Amino acid sequence: MNWQPLLLSLQVTVVATMLMVVCGVPLALLLARRRFRGAALVETLVSLPLVLPPTVVGYYLLLVLGRGSPTVEWFGWQILFTWGAAAIASAIMGFPLFVLSARAAIAGVDPVLEHAARTLGSSELEVTRRVTLPLARRGILAGLVLGATRALGEFGATLMVAGSIPGRTQTLPLALYDAVQNRQYDQANVMVLLLTVLAFVSLWAVRRFEQPRQSFAASAISPQERL
């Protein structure tokens, strides 16, 4: 098997995950801790890639990154049909899973603890860094794993903006499609097994993130209450 698509997929996933963290954490904090007009619209836009066909998302990216767009005309940023375009497409497709999970985790942090930190003289940034994010870390990590896994398996939007150029933009899902088209079933079986294992490990990791909190809650019950 040619391992180049796997290595490229990992490279794309790492960059996509970094983009999700940089853009997603502030947005999750905003949605969880601030009430403002248009919040429902923002949440709807964030969730849109979950229900839109990936090819539709890819077409929008073509409009944003292609010829005649501000990206090209104003900044001269030629990114279509590069692995960078694949990273952007993968980040957008995994973004909703990360943001929604992080927002729920942050919203679940007791505001009393944050207020106590403020009364002790901590600034808002310090409260966020020392109280909110550490307490919400399990939900944030779970969302990060889900978003990264979705980015790793992205196919439609990636194909629209990056194509399937072997050695340059052909990620593992695209290589799998080509292997099936060329009836290279031995290679296809290996790729399918690899993607399945990665997805299974990711979901297992998400469950592990949830278990300690459940175990802590169970241990907090006194023996008399259990009886």
DSSP E strands, the chain? none
CATH at 122: 1.10.3720.10
Q: Is residue 225 one of the residues assigned to a domain?
A: no
Q: Is residue 125 one of the residues assigned to a domain?
A: yes
Q: Is residue 155 one of the residues assigned to a domain?
A: yes
**Rounded CA gap, 20 and 174, in Å?**
22
Chain segment 17-32, per-residue pLDDT in tens: 999 999 999 999 999 9
Q: Is residue 227 one of the residues assigned to a domain?
A: no
Q: Supply the pLDDT for residue 157.
A: 94
Q: Is residue 202 one of the residues assigned to a domain?
A: yes
In degrees rounded to 5, what are phi and psi of residue 104? -65, -40
**pLDDT at residue 54 above 90?**
yes
Number of domains in the chain: 1
Domain that holds residue 12: 4-220
Chain segment 145-199, per-residue pLDDT in tens: 999 999 999 999 999 999 999 989 999 999 999 999 999 999 999 999 999 999 9
**pLDDT at residue 215 above 80?**
no
Q: Is residue 168 one of the residues assigned to a domain?
A: yes
Q: Supply the pLDDT for residue 212.
A: 54
